[in-house]
């Protein structure tokens, strides 16, 4: 935060440490957890363009098992062969404008991989929440009870998915939704971004 003070008759702008994010604190007060995905367009190692941070509120009281799977894949707490495994360095492999952006396949990177912290797949936890607005976080699947690591975030209402995909969180704030819109606007070929949209960092707030 920038604060302007008067010193010796002159205005001086000073930076002060920013306090806790109020939106994050409110989510935690609701009994939920907040994770983040930092995303960038990565043409190659020398050509990277930051798109921004996506903060996601996880509905842990309503969907504890699904949320814990997602949270651990964000933080790297899930280990395979003693190595942190999850969403860091994965891509949003599927983008459909006016519908959703999909990612999370750290196995194959193309929407065919499945892995969860509970095993290959786990069951649909419940359908308490709906795809009733942009910014809903939901599990991708290949049919009933086939949840793994893949997820999608809606960019419009998608009520035909209600009762078929588990909604377990939402985009926390407007700045995060703007980052989703940037992802949505990336040119695609057969729903695959022409320039990879990468998760360059992720974790819990």
Catalytic residues: 94, 99, 102, 141, 152, 161, 165
127 phi, psi to nearest 5 deg = -125, 45
Query: By C-alpha distance, which of 148, 151, 156, 150 is closest to 131?
Result: 156
Instruction: Write a three-state SS string for 150-188.
Output: CEEEECCCCHHHCCCCCEEEEECCHHHHHHHHHHHCCCE
| Residue 65 and residue 72 in contact, taking contact as beta carbons nearer than 8 Å | no
């Amino acid at each position: 935060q920038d604060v302007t003070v008067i010193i010796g008759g002159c205005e001086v702008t000073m930076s002060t440490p920013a306090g806790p994010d109020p939106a994050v604190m409110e989510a935690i007060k609701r009994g939920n957890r907040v994770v983040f995905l930092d995303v960038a367009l990565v043409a190659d190692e020398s050509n990277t363009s930051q798109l921004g941070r996506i903060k996601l509120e996880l509905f842990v009281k309503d969907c504890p098992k699904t949320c814990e799977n997602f949270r651990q894949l964000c933080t790297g707490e899930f280990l395979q062969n003693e190595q942190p495994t999850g969403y860091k360095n994965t891509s949003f492999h599927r983008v459909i404008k006016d519908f959703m952006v999909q990612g999370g396949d750290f196995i194959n990177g193309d929407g065919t991989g499945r892995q969860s912290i509970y095993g290959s797949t786990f069951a649909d936890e419940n359908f308490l929440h709906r795809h009733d607005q942009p910014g809903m976080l939901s599990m991708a699947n290949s049919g009933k009870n086939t949840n793994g690591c893949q997820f999608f975030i809606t960019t419009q209402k998608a009520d035909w998915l209600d009762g078929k995909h588990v909604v377990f969180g939402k985009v926390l704030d407007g700045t995060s939704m703007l980052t989703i819109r940037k992802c949505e606007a990336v040119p695609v070929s057969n729903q695959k971004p022409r320039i990879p949209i990468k998760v360059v960092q992720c974790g819990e707030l």
